Structure 1
């Protein structure tokens, strides 16, 4: 029987996969469990993104959504299987610390929602497709520490749950459910956040967006002049666009390469350590007057993460008869073998003058996000007229909720 599918979905949240770097586990000081969890999710998302970025087109994923779904898988793994998953995620916490850190992160992110500014929801689920597979202790652990809903369901029930939790941004995540699917672990994330400095729709006008050095298209470009945190890096500039959230904790970071064709090289060199450094630099930067132009954009991305995860080191978890998920079943592998059949991630993002709206879902099948006055400095231009990277980040927890690459804002 297969523990067939892991799903993640969210309007601006996407998926996860990782390439474990042993150097990440050799830090001289041990971070707090929740910080270690966030770092692992961010790093895994970045490594997965680098793998996905080798193909052309728009990408949207949610490191948080993917990490949440795979943490539930890790909670039920034992022995070498647990080691392989932990190594792939760069996550080495005790069962107690893993559960506690996830519980704290969920509570912290859900607390970011505000009445008139931010809607941020994250939901987990254990859907039992076949009865008699899931041990009561595992079900209780997911309900207590992952705030997971547990219910019996089929393909329609899984898609309906995802659609409900993502406010309809993702209407369905699975088109079929193999006969040997025993259970599905799912995370769905949804974000709708209003800009702290809204763009004026009256000044939005078509402008060029350079898809490449030889090809430009006209797209609606939003305009603003205000104070923003801005940093210069090697081959790029980055800006933080805050949302109207508690203490400005949520924001979108746009990373713009210096050259029209520079996004591929930028994605390749902006690894987990470089991303962490960039986020720290933006948090520490003073705001300056910026003349901003950024396109409206939409992106919709769905991908199976099974191959990247296996390549990253999680192969054992996909091998029927060898994978040890006895923590899920409460029975020895020889008596009730299950393995991961697929990991599916779907993420969507919409950005306009008023807000950003994003959703992501991750599912894991287991088979049994004017001129300046004379006394004012001339504003610094930041014109997003070529392919770029984006990250939606919660400064309070450090979690990257969504990230991606916009190669064409029209799609």
Structure 2
């Protein structure tokens, strides 16, 4: 009987909470944002293994986004490209021949530019940097293998997933579908701080291994919104329909860029610590134009063009999630063999032929102005009057927009999304 390898990708997206800081200066110089092209880096002799994989990971992020966009029609989108890349890169340690080639190509790795060993060294370095306990943002990323006690894995595969991906390996009775699902769901709930619960309804009774990657991010705005000025407002779904949302507001100095060619605003909203976000607001009717040109070069140009300027900023509060059939999406990206009876995962186990039967990915995001601890705080800011010319632009995110969350330490895109309806009730 053909044995299936069940690959499961899990993560919690983001819980963003504001936190009042009286020492923030609007004119304070921020460190430069990351660029996504390899020649942008100057290592200065430092061992920056992650630099080698950053351009490929960015390419993959935008390719995957476009596949999701084509299937999502008019729904919210939110996912972690880094979680998906990491999980499949870890799986590639056990792939051979054409199965391995398809995985490399699907993940946007060109072995003439980066060696296979460098790919895994790069992910190892990313994991080290993301999980640094001294970071200001709360960021945890990890991997785990649930292995059926009947499956004998090759020692080299176990050694490699431990060495490069710090993966835990847990022996489990996966043939007991109900108990296995319960055990895995409990692990996921713990690692995502209760944000993803009961993801797996059951485990296929032929499953011999479940591979999980999770990522949890919680950041505090460097310039928090005052919840006392949040108001009900209209968010335009299209030219005929709108929904009521809680619209946050602040008038401060941000890094912004107006892309006249693509007809969109780009606003950087940084977090405390080494993480930031780009919010992209296309003009009415230009969302597809902006999406079609989403490439690492486009985002790199936006970042390099950012300029400090005082703006009136309106941003809705929202809480959305996305759940995706990665198997289906990867097949459309040319990665097919690993899911078929032709799969060569002989580097995982010599005794049992394996294929990936299922690959799912779930992400959630919460964007708000304040954490609960700061809910009762009143903030009054006084600034000198000035005759500003031209007047500050008023950038209102009251129609569909894009969101990209970037880790500045590893130059990684942690999350990407499109918010078309902040009030939508997701599954």
TM-score, length-normalised on structure 1? Answer: 0.84
The Cα of 1:215 is off from its aligned counterpart by 1.1
Question: Which residue, 249, 253, 263 being the options, matches 2:278?
Answer: 253
Matching of residue 235 in structure 1 with residue 263 in structure 2? yes
Aligned partner of residue 307 in structure 1, secondary structure? helix
Give the number of aligned pairs.
372
Partner residue of 2:405? 392
Aligned equivalents of 1:216, 1:371: Cα separation in 2: 35
Partner residue of 2:152? 133
Higher strand fraction (1 or 2): 1
Aligned equivalents of 1:172, 1:253: Cα separation in 2: 31
Partner residue of 1:51? 67
Note closer, same or farther for the CA distance 1:90–1:401 as it changes in structure 2 (3 Å cut). same
Aligned equivalents of 1:391, 1:348: Cα separation in 2: 14
The 5-angstrom pairing of residues 36-115 of structure 1 reads: 36-54=52-70, 55-91=73-109, 92=111, 93-111=114-132, 114=135
Q: RMSD in angstroms over aligned alpha carbons?
A: 2.5
Note closer, same or farther for the CA distance 1:85–1:379 as it changes in structure 2 (3 Å cut). same
The Cα of 1:397 is off from its aligned counterpart by 1.8
Aligned equivalents of 1:270, 1:171: Cα separation in 2: 32
Moved over 6 A (4+): 24-27
Contact 1:42–1:272 (CA<8 Å) still a contact in 2? Answer: yes
Partner residue of 1:350? 366
Matching of residue 403 in structure 1 with residue 403 in structure 2? no
Deviation digits for residues 115-140 of structure 1 (CA, Å, limit 9, x no counterpart): xx421110111111343332222112
Matching of residue 146 in structure 1 with residue 159 in structure 2? no
Matching of residue 323 in structure 1 with residue 335 in structure 2? no
Contact 2:6–2:356 (CA<8 Å) still a contact in 1? Answer: yes
Note closer, same or farther for the CA distance 1:303–1:223 as it changes in structure 2 (3 Å cut). same
Deviation digits for residues 195-247 of structure 1 (CA, Å, limit 9, x no counterpart): 000100111111111011111222110011111110122121110000011xx
Aligned equivalents of 1:95, 1:137: Cα separation in 2: 16
Aligned equivalents of 2:104, 2:253: Cα separation in 1: 41
Partner residue of 2:272? 244
The Cα of 1:113 is off from its aligned counterpart by 5.4
Contact 2:61–2:81 (CA<8 Å) still a contact in 1? Answer: yes
Partner residue of 1:6? 8
Partner residue of 2:395? 382
Partner residue of 2:328? 307
The Cα of 1:193 is off from its aligned counterpart by 0.5
Aligned partner of residue 185 in structure 1, secondary structure? strand
- Unmatched runs of 5 consecutive residues or more in structure 1: 14-23, 357-369
Contact 1:297–1:350 (CA<8 Å) still a contact in 2? Answer: yes
Partner residue of 1:19? none
Question: Which residue, 373, 388, 392 being the options, matches 2:385?
Answer: 373
Aligned equivalents of 2:414, 2:134: Cα separation in 1: 14
Note closer, same or farther for the CA distance 1:288–1:299 as it changes in structure 2 (3 Å cut). same
The 5-angstrom pairing of residues 255-274 of structure 1 reads: 255-259=280-284, 261-274=285-298
Partner residue of 2:141? 122
Deviation digits for residues 238-285 of structure 1 (CA, Å, limit 9, x no counterpart): 10000011xxx21111000111x432332222234323433443xxx3
Aligned partner of residue 100 in structure 1, secondary structure? helix
- Unmatched runs of 5 consecutive residues or more in structure 2: 16-35, 173-179, 373-381
Contact 1:128–1:151 (CA<8 Å) still a contact in 2? Answer: yes
Contact 1:252–1:391 (CA<8 Å) still a contact in 2? Answer: yes
218-227 or 123-132, larger mean C-alpha shift: 123-132
Aligned equivalents of 1:355, 1:268: Cα separation in 2: 36
Aligned partner of residue 121 in structure 1, secondary structure? strand
Aligned equivalents of 2:360, 2:120: Cα separation in 1: 23
Aligned equivalents of 1:343, 1:192: Cα separation in 2: 25
Aligned partner of residue 336 in structure 2, secondary structure? helix
The Cα of 1:33 is off from its aligned counterpart by 4.8
The Cα of 1:98 is off from its aligned counterpart by 2.3
The Cα of 1:312 is off from its aligned counterpart by 1.0
Partner residue of 1:362? none
